[in-house]
Each structure stands twice: as C-alpha cells, then as structure tokens.
Amino acid sequence: MKDDAIIRFDQVTMRYGPEDVVLDKVSFELQPGKFYTLLGPSGCGKTTILRLIAGFADPTEGTVYIGDVPMNGVPANKRRVNTVFQDYALFPHLNVFENVAFGLRIKKLKKDVIQAKVSEALRFVNLVGYENRKISEMSGGQRQRVAIARAIVNEPDVLLLDEPLSALDLKLRTEMQVELRELQRRLGITFVFVTHDQEEALAMSDEIYVLNKGRIQQSGTPIDIYDEPINRFVADFIGESNILEGKMIRDYRVEFGGSEFDCVDGGFLPNELVEIVIRPEDLEVVSPEEGKLKVRVESQLFRGVHYEIVGRDRSGNRWLVHSTRSVKVGDEIGLRFGPEAIHVMRFGETEEDFDRRLEAFAEVNHAK
Amino acid sequence: MNPAGKRSWSGLYLFVVFAILYAPILYLVVYSFNSGGTMHGYEGFTLEWYGEVFSDVRLLIIVLNTLVIALFSSAISTVLGVIGALAIYRVRRQQSRNALLSLNNVLIVSPDVVIGASFLILFTMIGLQLGFISVLVAHIAFSVPIVVLMVLPKLQEMNPSLLDAARDLGASGWGVLTKVVLPVIRPGIFAGFFMALTYSLDDFAVTFFVTGNGFSTLSVEIYSRARQGVSLSINALSTLLFLVTIALVIGYYLISLRNSRPAEGGQNR
C-alpha cells in the first residue's frame, strides 16, 4: 500500500522563526481517490499543510512527495494539484466562463477543447447558463461553484479545499457538503479538505486528520475518531463530551465519580490513572433509583432536536446530557449508560502507542 | 433656525466659494470674445482672437509640441510608474515600503521650482542641449511619482490570493502579471495616465527651467506673451486650454465612474 500514496509528508517541519513552529515533524500518507479532512482550530497548521501541497510554501525541513516525486522547490504552477480558496479568489475582471477557462488557456489548449471542457465543468457544478455572468453578479454559493469548476477543469490528481464553505450560511453549507462529497465520488480524485468545523469533517470525510499546535493528534475514519478519541483535545474538539478523571482498577473495570463501572477497554496497568469520555447522547435520563449515577440538574436548554441538560454529581463532576425528555432544574435524576458508552483514554498516549495497545489487547483476548 | 434655512446658508456659502474660484476664468473667457481689444471694457462679440490663434503657425506648432510632450511623457511615465508601483508592492517589510512611498510622495509635493532648477543644473552639467529631450525627461520625472501614487492603492486593494490562484492554475510569473495583476489594476493605470497627461499639459515652472531656444510649450508661451503685452488672443488660447482640461476631467470622471461598480470577487458574505 505504501507505494501508491498520492501525497506523502516525510518529517515535514515548517518554521517562520526560531520560536514560531507551525508544523512539527509531520508525516502522513494520503491514498488516491479518498476524501481527507484536515481538522483543527485556527493556527494548528492545517492551512500550512495545504499550502505546502499546493506549492505556495516550501518546508523548512523534511520532504513533501506528490506521487513518488519530491516536490521541494517545485513551484505551484508545475504541480498537478489545484486549490479552491477560502475567499474563492475568482478573477474579478473575467466572466464565469473565462475564470473557469483560465488554466486551460495557460495550457494553450485548442478553442473547441476549452469550450467543451469548461461546459462540462460548469455542468458538473450545476452552473449551465451562467457562462457570461460577471463574478460580481454571482451569489456566494455560485461563486463557490465557479471556484470548484475552475479547479476541477484542470483534472488535477488532488483537489485542495481551504475552508471553502466557511463563508456560506448554514443551509447552503449543508447542501454544499452533500454536493462536495458527491462530486468527489463522481470525479474519483483525492480531496484534501481543510476545516475547523468538526461536524463538516464528520459528515464528509473518508478519513480525518485532527491537528493541534502543528502536530497530528489523531487520524482515522470519522467513526473511529468520534468513538475512540485518543486524548482530551480530540475528545473535546470532536463533538461534545463529558471528560472525567478516573482510575482503571483492572481490565474492563473503571472507577470514576465515586463508583466502579464495567467497561470494554483494557490493556492498562492496574490502578492506572486515566481520563474517561462519555458522549452526552449516550446518557439516558432515568429515575434516581434506576440510574448508575445520581446527578442534580443545574440547567436545561431546549436545542430543538434534544434538551441539553447540565448537572453535577456528588463528587462535583459536571455532566452534559442530551435527552429528548425534559427534566426540572433542581431535581435529582439518574443517568444510565452501557459499558460500551465509556471510553477510556491514557494520559499522553501517542497515536502509535494507542494502536499498539489496542492490537496487543485484542491478541490477548483472542488467545483466551 | 430651521433645517431648510441652514441648508440655504451652506448652499449660499458653497455658491460664493465656487463663484470666487471660477470668476477669474469666466472673466478671461468672456473677454476672449471682446471686440474692443482690451480687458477693460466689453464692446462687442467677436471670434477675431480665436481666428488669430488658429492663423498663428508658430502657436500651432507649440500646441503640437505640448501635446507630443504630454502624450509621450505620460505614456512613458505610466510604464515606469507601474513598474515602480509593482516594485514597492513587492517590498515585504512595512517600514521599507513606507519609506519608499514617502520618497515618492516627496517628489510630488516638492516645489516645481526646485525640481526645475535641479534639472537645469543636471542638464547643463551633463551637457544635454535644452529642448525637446530635456523637457520630455523632466516631464517624465515629475509624472512617474503621480502614476505610482495612483497605481499602488489598486495593487494593495487586490486580493493577494488572486496571485496564488493564478499560479495554482499554472500561470508563470509573467502570466500572473499580464493575465491577472495588470487587468485588475487597469483602472489605476488609466487614472495615472490621465493625471500624468494633465500635469504635463499645464506644467509651467519645470518646463520654464528646462526649455531652450526654439522649443516651447503652451504654458511657457502664454507666460512670455502675457509679459510682452495684453493681447486677447491669449485669452482665446487660455479658453481653449481650459476646455481641453475640462474634457480631460470629464474623461477621468467617466473612467472612475465605470470602475466604481463592484469589481472585487469573492468578498461578499
């Protein structure tokens, strides 16, 4: 599998000053034909990764490969990748057709070929009939489509998208998420999508790279990352979660909030201090007697799909609960959850260690 | 006082100011049609002075000189000014960029007499004969900073990711310049050209210093004729010049009107 990577980062470091490290020895491989998302807060280095792939910047150390070819020093106009910019960067002096045709004209293709390709690209993004419009006459969503058409008409191996949906309103954004995902399937090329919006990342991606402070925190499918966050940062950044300190008594047995619970994690040292994650939607509101935990309700917000309930248990831990049942503020309620709802995280564990532990643990179980 | 009264006072003030500003020109224009031959008493309407202007071959040659100088100097200074603006735009450090821009602006605000005198000294030092070339060079010199000043804001307004986008789509450095940068800043280039044209057309001080025997421009010629004695053909000539200037201003206004329409793509939220 290693050889067919379409983009490979090998120990890439990016520094703007001795103290200003944007990327810190980042290594990863992207496979062709997949939808990747780089997810992280602003300043985490995700856009820098995109600029390194596009060729707008060169790494301070390390090598970026496209295919098998090292790309250091290769300018942007010599790379078979295209970018959809955050502000679209459409040329204001050209109409829609000429914007899309820009790359083809530079390649000096024949007129009828350009005509055919541009028409096809505009059909792909549902903009047939807009050829002669000025950019200033297009709405935000339409500009977005022009920008996408302008990039895909060049048939790049990789399409880079730099927070392209952030300027759109919620409804349009959701629509475009579906459309982008659909577009990627139809084109079959690799998409690298940069966003700080975790919902967007979960909804669209084959694989997500969660970044923070210039390092990759975790990578995996949306389900892996949501269900098995590797550390507090990932658990906190992806979705909402209750993160508590706890203690691993032994495999399958964890203590937190003053009680012991069954869980499905293992491979820890006896009595190792850990952090546990429980997603608010995995908590069921029941009567205090039925609950595994008793919580005093502090506030309740109606969110449309569910109520967002905040409560506090006897040891003072804060609990966030999503429930379709409404409760009364001040009441004591019980919380019920299954063993699989509890996810245990080791302090300071890297992604490799995490994978190794899971593998070793699975083997031990298998042997039994 | 009621708002309407306030408005009429401010309107009156504005009217008075403009009346005072335009009165001398109007006076000059009116007397260019005076058959009396002096600026003292208006006797009757005549086009005699205009006829005199158009039959004066020497004067027509000077008009031609002025136009040629203006067109050449503004064209050349537009090219140089655009290159200069691009160079200043490329300077990364804010401080150095501001310093360069200030040096540019000093040339615009410094007195014409100083520029003219220094050019005169320069030309006599290197032994350049005063005439067409010396005037042309001097006009280019004072026009370049004006063009820079008109073009640079357009460059700074330009969305820098347009440059990335062009490179991303395969454009070389030259392609980015000719296919994106120059078209986007074209309004600034035109404005700079027109400004340079008007500055060159009506320049007196610098030209007066660096012009030599047998070569003259309109403003210098009008000055020397006005010194010799009053002839209303000067009024006629000045009126014509005034009309040309008005035409240029209107042209400039129309161009800026066309460009004030939203030109920036991708900024709407």
Among candidate residues A228, A180, A227, the one with its CA nearest the CA of residue A200 = A180
Task: Out of A165-169, A225-229, B252-256, give the one with best mean pLDDT.
Answer: A225-229
Residue B171 sits at the vertex; the CA angle it makes with B169 and B177, to the nearest 5 degrees, is 130
The model's confidence at residue B47, banded by pLDDT at 50, 70 and 90, is: confident
Please name the member of B170, B175, B263 whose beta carbon is closest to the beta carbon of A92.
Answer: B263
pLDDT at B264: 40
Please name the member of A55, A82, A139 whose beta carbon is closest to the beta carbon of B169.
Answer: A82
Taking the C-alpha atoms of residue B13 and residue B2, their distance in angstroms, rounded to an integer, is: 17
CATH code for the domain in which residue B110 is found: 1.10.3720.10
Number of helical H runs and strand E runs in chain B: 13, 0
Note whether A91 contacts B262, CB cutoff 8 Å. no
Q: Are B59 and B170 in contact (CB under 8 A)?
A: no
Range of the domain at B128: 60-234
Does residue B16 belong to any structural domain of this protein?
no
For chain B, how long is the longest CA-to-CA vector? 73
How many A×B Cβ pairs under 8 Å?
Answer: 93
Which DSSP category does A95 fall into? Answer: B
* Predicted confidence (pLDDT) per residue in B139-159, tens digit: 999 999 999 999 999 999 999
What would you report as the CA-atom Rg of chain B, rounded to the nearest whole angstrom?
23
Structure tokens belonging to residue A82: 């295209």
Q: Are B151 and B189 in contact (CB under 8 A)?
A: yes
Note whether A102 contacts B167, CB cutoff 8 Å. no
Contacts of B166 in chain A (CB under 8 A): 91, 102
Residue A368 has pLDDT above 60, yes or no: no
Q: Which residue has the higher pLDDT, B252 or B110?
A: B110
The second-level CATH assignment, the architecture, of A2-227 is 3-Layer(aba) Sandwich (3.40)
Residue B266 has pLDDT above 50, yes or no: no
Among candidate residues A52, A114, A120, A109, the one with its CA nearest the CA of residue A83 = A52
Over residues A336-346, the mean pLDDT reads 90
Does residue B52 belong to any structural domain of this protein?
no
Instruction: Classify strands A253-256 and A284-286 as parallel, antiparallel or unpaired.
Output: unpaired
Distance from the Cα of residue B11 to its chain's centroid = 30
Residue type at A142?
Q
Which DSSP category does B45 fall into? Answer: B
Among candidate residues A247, A229, A246, the one with its CA nearest the CA of residue A238 = A229
State the total domains in chain B. 1
Please name the member of B162, B179, B269 whose beta carbon is closest to the beta carbon of A140.
Answer: B269
pLDDT at B184: 94
* Predicted confidence (pLDDT) per residue in B208-260, tens digit: 999 887 888 988 988 888 888 767 888 888 898 889 888 888 887 887 777 66
Taking the C-alpha atoms of residue B96 and residue B110, their distance in angstroms, rounded to an integer, is: 21
Does residue B32 belong to any structural domain of this protein?
no
The model's confidence at residue A347, banded by pLDDT at 50, 70 and 90, is: confident
> Range(s) for CATH 3.40.50.300 in chain A?
2-227
Structure tokens belonging to residue A12: 């890439």
Residue A160 has pLDDT above 70, yes or no: yes
Grouping H, G, I as helix, E, B as strand and the rest as coil, residue B87 is: helix
Residue A51 has pLDDT above 90, yes or no: yes
Residue B65 sits at the vertex; the CA angle it makes with B61 and B70, to the nearest 5 degrees, is 150
Residue B48 has pLDDT above 50, yes or no: yes
Taking the C-alpha atoms of residue B8 and residue B1, their distance in angstroms, rounded to an integer, is: 11
pLDDT at B84: 95
Taking the C-alpha atoms of residue A2 and residue A19, their distance in angstroms, rounded to an integer, is: 34
* Predicted confidence (pLDDT) per residue in B82-101, tens digit: 999 999 999 988 899 999 99
* Predicted confidence (pLDDT) per residue in A108-155, tens digit: 999 999 999 999 999 988 899 999 999 999 998 899 999 999 999 999
pLDDT at A1: 43
Grouping H, G, I as helix, E, B as strand and the rest as coil, residue A45 is: coil
